[in-house]
Amino acid sequence: MGNIQLFTGTLQSSINFSEIMVGNGYSNGWERGLTFEVSTDGTNFTTITPLWRSHVGTLWCFARQTGIMKVRITAQSGANQFSGINPTGNNVMGPYNFIDWGTQVQMDAARLGSLTYANLTPTDPRAGSFETQSIGIASDAVSISIDGDSPISRSHYNPGAMIGTFYDWVTVPTLQYKVHPFWGFVILPGGGGNCQPSTQSGTTAQITYNWGRRV
């Protein structure tokens, strides 16, 4: 899996997305009490609830939304962010990035875990990201073995900054990887840059991971 940036000079009437991420702009995710609403006709809005929100408050994952003409994001309080264009530190919001990973079928095929094991009592870690109470993948507890090689020879690119590094467009070095903190998408060596496919060879990958569940 890799990242591809798409740019167009033509204004589009609608978008598809499965993630909303606040950029490295003026709010840095410090808004509180957010509500997300979408409209497919530009008039009527429906509230959507995130499947997951990062602990640093900069990324929200949703069931894939399609044909969205308008998005309305409201907050009980904005971010008190001081900057050159906001010297008083008044409440601000955004900027927001909308990310699409393909169809829901494609996403589900690439996610860590299995829907078969979701929401069982007692819980089953094989559910992974399909568990509705999942709080995400533990980045420092992931190991990957390619065709039986040693998992400990591989390390996460930057486990201390999991979200930022997954979207940093930097090529993954040899014997390292990037993993999405919720979906569990894995980018192997050679991938990660714009339109850069992984150069990792192999037939079978075994991924071991830990995940958290709300209690």
Residues 132, 167 within the same domain: yes
> Does 91 lie in the same domain as 48?
yes
Please give the pLDDT value at position 33. 78
> How far is the C-alpha of 129 from the C-alpha of 25, rounded, in Å?
28
* Residue 171 and residue 127 share a domain: yes
The pTM score is 0.83
Domain that includes residue 123, residue range: 111-213
For the chain, what is the domain count?
2
Q: Are residues 115 and 207 in the same domain?
A: yes
For the segment 66-79, the average pLDDT, to the nearest whole number, is 85
Task: Give a yes or no: residue 9 inside a domain.
Answer: no
pLDDT at 115: 94
Secondary structure (DSSP) of 23-80: -SSSSTT--BS-EEEEESSSS--EEE--SEE-TTSSEEEEEEEEEE-EEEEE-SB-EE
* pLDDT the model gives residue 69: 96
**Coil, strand or helix at 140:** helix
Find residue 16's DSSP bridge partners: none
CA dihedral 209, 17, 30, 134 (to 10 degrees): -30
Q: Does 140 lie in the same domain as 92?
A: no
pLDDT at position 65 over 80? yes
| Judgement on whether residues 122 and 205 belong to the same structural domain of the protein | yes
Q: Which tens digit of pLDDT belongs to each residue from 27-37?
A: 455 667 789 99
Question: Which range, 37-41, 125-129, 203-207, is most confident?
Answer: 37-41
Residue 119 is assigned to a structural domain of this protein: yes
34: in domain? yes
pLDDT band at 67 (very low <50, low <70, confident <90, very high): very high
**pLDDT higher than threshold 60 for residue 43:** yes
Residue 192 lies in a domain: yes
* Same domain flag for 75 and 159: no
Position 55 in a domain: yes
Give the tens place of pLDDT for each residue, 141-196: 888 889 988 776 677 776 566 677 788 888 888 888 888 889 989 888 999 888 88
How confident is the model at residue 87, as a pLDDT? 55
Residue 89: predicted pLDDT: 56
Tell me which of 56, 75, 102 is where a domain ends.
102
Is 3 part of a structural domain of the chain?
A: no
How far does Cα 56 stand from its chain's mean position? 12
Do residues 121 and 196 share a domain? yes
Query: Does 21 map to a domain?
Result: yes
Other beta carbons less than 10 A from residue 182's beta carbon:
26
Does residue 88 sit within a domain?
A: yes
CB 27 within 8 A of CB 56: no
Across the chain, how many H-helices and E-strands are there? 2, 16
184 phi/psi in degrees, rounded to 5: 80, 10
Tokens for 34? 């957010």
